Amino acid sequence: MRTSSSTAETERAVTAAGVEVLGVRVPREQARTVWEEWRGRHDRTGWWPYVTLSPPSDATEWHGHEAWDADALERWVGEAACQDHDARAASIVVSACRWAVEEVANVDDDFDLWRSDYDPDRLAPLLAPAVERPLQGVSQWATGPRDFFEKDWRWVNFVAARSGYEVPVLLPRVYTTWGWAGYGDRGLTPLDTSALLRRWHERWGAQLFFANRSYLELVVDRPPLDPRGAAQAAAELRAYCHDTVDDAVKAGDTMARSTVWSLWWD
């Protein structure tokens, strides 16, 4: 991978399952530009870029890779490519709604109000009217002002993948969600994440941009601008990450209609 500097720090690592990860370290303020450049070349190179804080060795060296052998990887990649991602995404929303009503809501709560967070038809009338153009999203962790990581450098890592939605299957700990911790029956798998990311990519042009620990950012090329579309996106975002999307109405009027979706799991 060529960069503007011949002395740029680069690294290569391979997981136990044989997934190769290449990386180049870049100044934080250049990370988005480098990512955009290589995203534009993906059709020719086959390598998907993502921004992170760590070199490829950190993406490939974790205790779970020992069980993630080449045969398991092949099965999961095949299922990710063939699964009905819309149906799987819908089941995640239904499961999240059931969990919220049964485990989180109090007996005195308005259950219809709880359900509206996950039902776009109920949520849409609560949102603001359609906007003419997407809200300009700002990266919080890759390049943006909330740089609590206290690092001036970022890594742009590359994985051979069909698209960004395949990266969580190839590198199952590229980032971690609350659901993956296995609490109750809401444990999410890399295939669940892949289904949601693929759906969001096909419907709204969302692309995996930044992934690190429990932080995820997507660049969204054509976010929904009307209340119904924004309600659909907000409901799915809340089902996936209620730690960040704790107010579906607010998310439907802001994040869902913006060009960057920033999620964080507590």
Element (H, E) at 45: helix 42-45
Residue 5 lies in a domain: no
Average pLDDT over residues 188-200: 94
- CA 96, CA 28: separation in Å to the nearest integer? 35
Residue 40 lies in a domain: yes
The band of 74, judged by pLDDT with boundaries at 50, 70 and 90, is confident
Residue 27 lies in a domain: yes
Provide CB contacts within 8 A for 131, sequence distance 6+.
Answer: 225, 257
For the stretch 81-107, pLDDT in tens is 999 999 999 999 988 888 887 776 665
- CA 65, CA 15: separation in Å to the nearest integer? 7
Residue 138 lies in a domain: yes
Residue 1 lies in a domain: no
Residue 178 lies in a domain: yes
- CA 109, CA 237: separation in Å to the nearest integer? 22
The band of 3, judged by pLDDT with boundaries at 50, 70 and 90, is very low
Give the pTM.
0.90
Domain that holds residue 88: 10-264
Average pLDDT over residues 41-66: 85
Residue 36 lies in a domain: yes
Average pLDDT along the chain: 87
Residue 119 lies in a domain: yes
Number of domains in the chain: 1
DSSP sequence for 55-96: -HHHHH-SGGGGT--HHHHHHHHHHHHHS-HHHHHHHHHHHH
- CA 45, CA 127: separation in Å to the nearest integer? 41
- CA 240, CA 170: separation in Å to the nearest integer? 20
